[in-house]
Structure 1
């Protein structure tokens, strides 16, 4: 069992010194650090290209030895023992397009890190807020992050809604922990240390990670068998479709042996997910449901937002129940020549001259409308309970 700590040091030397002392006293095996003061030039430390994300493991600790899997702007990925660990920092000051680009890069890293079937742990300061993990606020970055996580097959490991960042202007939950489905059952004791001094406005997050299910099975001598009585075809199909959506990569795509191994791992992960669902752990089904909820919420927000831009558009038609059917209208089914003939008959073009008064016509006083009649008609119309606006 490896003990992990996760925090943001805000480039503070004092905060990094205090974290170093905490690691020694608590016997921490893996540190996931956002915005470190400095990244020591030693083999047990790895950092992102911009130095804003760093991973440290304890030499000879319970986690095992580490090695670099990849790094880029705002992220670093390492293989530590039997799992892949990715630390992320995304600045709150970048544009939304850059935020999306960050997530796209991370998706590729997560795919490659977990492609061999190893468990994947992702932590960091995403500077994104959603009611899923932060009860006080939600923003567009949080919506995008939820959709991205669902597409990557990751699950949130934050427990409760305790603030991870506390500042004079308010508190928030921006430090998040995610994991692959097979790693979820062996993550224990996730907690925010509210009373621990950090010399930073971010609190420590502490949890333990065990050996993933796949690795436990490999160490045994018995053949893996599945309980057919607990098999759920719908859950299995959902899990398998999500796994296959990535497709093989690298040697798994170019060699027969690699492709055979990838198919076996995909089937195994789908079976494991189905078993987890039967025991109530949720597995891929919870991921899909979370994605569905996020999509529905986004569609509703877009619909409400369109009221301001087009008050007589889709929202209005939904309310009055007069949305156009999927069938084509009469004019759309007619041939072009037939339609032109009908329109010319109904609306003659004339010779282009202005219309003149008919000869011999005389004004009839019976056609006249008095002021009192106009007022009476307006009063009668206002008395009717009809919503304003165009009538379809």
Structure 2
């Protein structure tokens, strides 16, 4: 990838005027990659990698872009099913360089909302499971309506891309003819001194040795109790060498995490109540 790629994200609300203005903005800002939720009519030809209800994955150079959209009128179980369907798609693409961006109508303090809602919590854990880095910065509202505003447009990327993202921002004061503001950022060229594939795979294996935890589901009371129990198992600092002490302390922290929150990994399939009911019958 020579130079840098300029990204633009919008929501057209199926409005012809908003779509025309979006196309003009693409030309004005010399945009290389554009993602529009709720477009009007046919879209330009794409090198599609995957497509499903609420998402499409297309290729631009060495990057796969996954555009996503989820209606605010659908409930939490539907959102969970949507993320479950999206997870294997991103998982198959993730060895490559992937950017996921769109309007998911999920609110979390992680990307600038005052409070975290259930859908936002689900999306946080999904992104952790998929090993995606959040690109959003700041608290500027991405959707502004008469009833109030919120941050519901989110951007994620695999770590190799996230490290090269510059200038992620919400365009304030720019007309869109939509209740959603434009989001822009740039992805710089591959940095010099890029690691060899062998080094990268070795690093991936090294990271896989360390578990990750669903911090949003932390039970603080259990964590405190586990920490007290762990402290009882440690001898005095004078009885341990530095290396052994660090190792024992790491074991205690690991046990505290295991006791107080579930690990992050491929999420187990959810058991639906209707499935249980059918089994009982």
Q: Normalised by the size of structure 2, how large is the TM-score?
A: 0.71
Match of 1:343 in 2: none
Decide which of 186, 189, 193 is 2:171's aligned counterpart. Answer: 193
Contact 1:84 1:113 in 2 (8 A): yes
Change (3 A) 1:189 1:15: same
2:42 pairs with one of 19, 22, 39: 39
Matched, 1:86 2:21: no
The answer to whether the 8 Å contact 1:119/1:212 transfers is no
SS in 2 for 1:144: helix
CA deviation profile, 1:220-242 (whole Å, cap 9, x unmatched): xxxx58xxxxxxxxxxxxxxxxx
1:126 to 87, 104, 109: 104
Show the counterpart of 1:153: 131
- Residue of structure 2 equivalent to 1:107: 87
Runs of 5+ unmatched residues, structure 1 = 47-66, 219-223, 226-260, 275-283, 304-313, 319-392
Q: Report the counterpart of residue 250 of structure 2 in structure 1.
A: none
Instruction: Give the distance between the partners of 1:5 and 1:138, measured in 2 at CA.
Output: 26
Residues 259-298 of structure 1: matches in 2 within 5 Å?
Answer: 266-269=201-204, 288=212, 291-296=213-218
Write out per-residue CA displacement over residues 172-204 of structure 1, whole angstroms, 9 at most, x where no aligned residue.
000000011111111111000001100000000
Q: How far apart in 2 are the matches of 1:160 and 1:132?
A: 10
**1:136 maps onto 2:114 in alignment:** yes
Matches of 1:135 and 1:110 in 2, distance apart?
A: 25
How far the C-alpha of 1:270 sits from its partner, in A, is 5.4
Instruction: Give me the CA root mean square deviation.
Output: 2.8
2:54 match: 74
- In the TM superposition, residue 165 of structure 1 has moved relative to its aligned partner by 0.2
Contact 1:76 1:87 in 2 (8 A): yes
Separation in 2, partners of 1:26, 1:158: 20
**Superposed displacement of residue 212, structure 1:** 4.5
1:243-322 aligned within 5 A: 266-269=201-204, 288=212, 291-296=213-218, 299=219
Shift of 1:265: 5.2
**Alpha-carbon distance in 1 for matches of 2:158, 2:79:** 22
Q: Match of 1:24, SS?
A: helix
Aligned to 2:18, which of 10, 15, 19?
15
What count of residue pairs does the alignment treat as equivalent? Answer: 220
TM-score between both structures, scaled by the size of structure 1: 0.52
Which residue matches 2:29?
Answer: 26
CA distance in 2, matches of 1:199, 1:156: 27
| Residues 212, 107 of structure 1: alpha-carbon distance in 2 compared, 3 angstrom cutoff | farther
Question: 1:37 Cα shift?
Answer: 1.6
Aligned partners of 1:182 and 1:269 also within 8 Å: no
Instruction: Describe the SS at the equivalent of 2:185.
Output: strand
Question: How far, CA to CA, are the matches of 1:12 and 1:137 in structure 2?
Answer: 30
**What SS is found at the alignment partner of 2:163?**
helix
Match of 1:210 in 2: 188
Structure 2 counterpart of 1:167 = 145
- Kindly name which structure, 1 or 2, has the bigger radius of gyration based on alpha carbons: 1
- In structure 1, the residue matched to 2:156 is 178
Gaps of 5+ in 2: 226-281
